[in-house]
Structure 1
Amino acid sequence: MGKQKTLVELDMHNEQDANLVKKMFEKRTPVSHVFGFRHHQSPFFFQVLSRDTKVKVAYAPILDVVLVYDRSNTTLHLYDIIGSRIPNLRVIASCFDFDISKVEVHFSPDLLEASEVKIATNPHQQLMVRGDLPTEKYHFAIPSIAEF
């Protein structure tokens, strides 16, 4: 019996792969309790189908999540997790078949149960908030994959 693949690369131009991601969006839980998007399927497809995108989209059958990521050498850039629950970072990292020395997360990482993540910042993004924003306690990041 063969070993189950930990990650299955998806092609968003392939109808079957795109339908899998759409189904995952239907049962999606936000990637963060602090700041996350629930319904951003349209911007997601707009971004991943763009000619300029460098992100990869993969399904992790063991975790039943779609991971949106990129890598540079041994750095994992994690842009989004689409599924009914958010696994911790250690479990997510175990799905990849390359050595990971650093993880840069492009969303608020509170559900990843990891202190060793670096939050990627984008100086061109701005968040308008009314009232006090407890930035010393929480980390806020707007995933580029959700931008329009």
Structure 2
Amino acid sequence: MSNTTDSEGLILRQDYFNDPSPWSALVDLLQDTFSIDISLQDQFCGPDPTSMPFGYFDETGRCVANFSAFSMPLIINGRVVRAAGYQSGAVRPEWRGRGLYRDLMQRAFARTKAEGFELDILLTDKPALYERYGFRAFQQHVFVGPPPETAGPLPPARRLSLQDPGDMRLLKTLLQDRAPVSGRFAVAGQMEMFHLNACFDPDIRLSLVADTTVVAWKFDGGTLRLLDVAGPAIPSLAAISSALDLRAERMEVCFPPDRLDWDGTPALYQGYTWLMMRGDAADNIDGPVMLSPMAEF
């Protein structure tokens, strides 16, 4: 961790996640700004060890501004792309308008460029803020269609609990060894956000299919919404549907379904954030894509 002091009397801290005090101060900043509790990561495996946080702190140790980068390798058209994600961007109201956010962004962008990342990716509800830095917005799509033919009798899926230590150990193992859920566009390795997103949304259900794969899903009584699949291999949608045994009338897959042995029709995703990317790898994306909701950051 490195510290410097700026003209405002603030202390700039970098790579501080191994220090409990500034980490707790960032937790407070994001709780106050977005009403999210990232300290839930401590229940699973702690903060992402690839994180590169940049934050300004006042003399009392309060975090007044932050912007973080982290490693988020992606599969794009069958190739592993070394991508950097950006998150936890926030400034306390009384410190806005002083250029702190821009300063921290530029520091993070310079760091990932120096470390050789070939793609930058973020999610935002303010795309114009990042377009000036060369980011391009990508409209996300879900994939919808009728249920597949049943795969025959299969052992029923087992629900997993975020409160069960054994289930959480199993989830961590499967996320560490997971195959990308798509060969077109998918996370190649990232597990902290999967756990956080499962905690943030109580409607998300996690089920173990065939003792080897965790499926994240929602069901509204008619539509099975498949959010993500984590395991050493990707089962067919027919196998997943049979194991869940939900009698769905409609499928909605929230990632490209090329590994599910099922074809869906792309439909615009009705989310409140834009997926934005910059880099040569982004120029090679053709056709509709979506980042799994379990990988949102």
- Give the gaps of 5 or more residues in structure 2: 1-152
3-state SS of paired residue (1:25): helix
Greater percentage in strand? 2
**Deviations 1:17-54, CA, capped at 9 Å, x for gaps:** 1001011112211001111112221011111122x431
2:256 maps to which of 76, 98, 108 = 108
Task: Give, in whole Å, the separation in 2 of the partners of 1:120 and 1:98.
Answer: 25
Q: 1:77 to 1:44 in 2, by over 3 A?
A: same
The within-5 A match list for 1:47-86 is 47-50=197-200, 52-61=201-210, 64-86=212-234
**CA–CA distance in structure 1, aligned partners of residues 237 and 191 of structure 2:** 23
Percent of paired sites with the same residue: 24
**Aligned partners of 2:268, 2:241: CA distance in 1, in Å?**
17
The count of corresponding residues between Structure 1 and Structure 2 is: 142
Higher relative helix content: 2
Determine the structure 2 residue equivalent to 1:24: 174
SS at match of 2:289: coil
Name the structure, 1 or 2, with higher relative contact order (CA <8 Å, separation 6+).
Answer: 1
RMSD over aligned CA atoms reads 2.2
* TM-score, normalised by the number of residues in structure 1: 0.84
What are the within-5 Å matches in structure 2 for residues 101-140 of structure 1? Answer: 101-116=249-264, 121=269, 122-130=271-279, 132-135=283-286, 138-140=287-289
1:60 and 1:120 map into 2 onto residues whose CA distance is 29
Map Cα deviations across residues 70-115 of structure 1 (whole Å, 9 max, x no partner). Answer: 1011210000100111111111111122211111111121111211
Instruction: State the partner residue of 1:41.
Output: 191
CA distance in 2, matches of 1:107, 1:96: 19
Alpha-carbon distance in structure 1 between the residues aligned to 2:203 and 2:268: 16
* Greater shift in the superposed pair: 68-77 or 4-13: 4-13
| Matching residue of 1:94 | 242
Q: Which residue identity lines up with residue 14 of structure 1 in the other structure?
A: D
Gaps of 5+ in 1: none
